[in-house]
Chains A and B, each alone.
Chain A
Amino acid sequence: MILKGRSIFPGQATGEALVSQMGISFYGGVDPETGVITEAGHDLEGESIARKVLVFPGGKGSTVGSYVLYRLKKNGHTPVAIINADCETITAVGCIIAEIPCLDQVDLSLLKTGLILKVDSDNGNISLISD
Chain B
Amino acid sequence: MILTSEEQYYLTGGAGPAVQKAMQILETLGQIYGAERMLPIQSVQIAGVSYANLGEAGLEWLSEMAEGGGKVQILTTLNPAGMDIENYRTLGISEDFAVNQRRVLAAFEQMGVVTTCSCTPYLFGNLPRFGEHIAWAESSAVCYANAVLGARTNREGGPSALAAALTGCTPAYGYHLDKNRQPTLHVQVEADLRDNPDFGALGKVIGDRLQSTSAGRVPYLTGIEEASLEKLKSFCASIATFGGVALFHIAGITPEAEKYAPPAEKLKVGPAALNQARDSLTDARMADVDFVSLGCPHLSLREIQRIAQLLEGKQVTKEFWITTSRPVKGMADRMGYSDIIEAAGAKFATDTCCVVAPIAGRFEALATDSAKACYYAHAKNHFKTRLLSFDEVIREATR
Residues of A within 8 A of B (CB): 6, 8-9, 32, 62-64, 66-68, 70-71, 74, 87-90, 92-93, 96-97, 104
Contact = CB atoms under 8 A, between A and B. Distances in A.
Interface of B: prevailing SS: helix
A96 B32 CA distance: 13
Interface in B144-170: 157-160
A87 B24 CA distance: 15
Given A63-B48, A63-B157, A71 B60 contact: yes
A71 B64 CA distance: 12
B223 interface: no
Contacts of A92: 28-29, 32
Interface of B: 21, 24-25, 28-29, 31-32, 47-48, 53-58, 60-61, 137, 157-160
B25 A93 contact: yes
Contacts of A64: 48, 53-55, 58, 158
Contacts of A8: 28, 31-32
20 contacts: A62-B53, A63-B157, A63-B158, A64-B54, A66-B158, A66-B159, A67-B48, A67-B57, A67-B58, A67-B61, A70-B58, A70-B60, A74-B60, A87-B32, A89-B29, A89-B157, A93-B28, A93-B157, A96-B28, A97-B25
Nearest to B58: A67
A12 to B, nearest CB: 17
Nearest to B53: A64
A9 B28 CA distance: 8
A74 to B, nearest CB: 6
Chain A contact residues, majority secondary structure: helix
Nearest to B56: A71
A64 B160 CA distance: 11
Contact of B55 (A32, A63, A96): A32
Given A64-B158, A66-B157, A67-B55, A97 B61 contact: yes
A70 B162 CA distance: 16
Interface centre among A68, A88, A93 (most CB of B within 10 A): A93
A85 B341 CA distance: 54
Contacts of A87: 32
Contacts of A74: 57, 60
A68 B57 contact: yes
B160 A97 contact: no
A79 to B, nearest CB: 15
Given A32-B55, A63-B159, A64-B48, 17 more contacts: A8-B28, A8-B31, A9-B24, A62-B53, A63-B48, A64-B54, A66-B157, A66-B158, A66-B159, A67-B57, A67-B61, A67-B159, A71-B60, A89-B157, A93-B25, A97-B21, A104-B32
A93 B32 CA distance: 11
Given A64-B53, A67-B55, A96 B60 contact: no
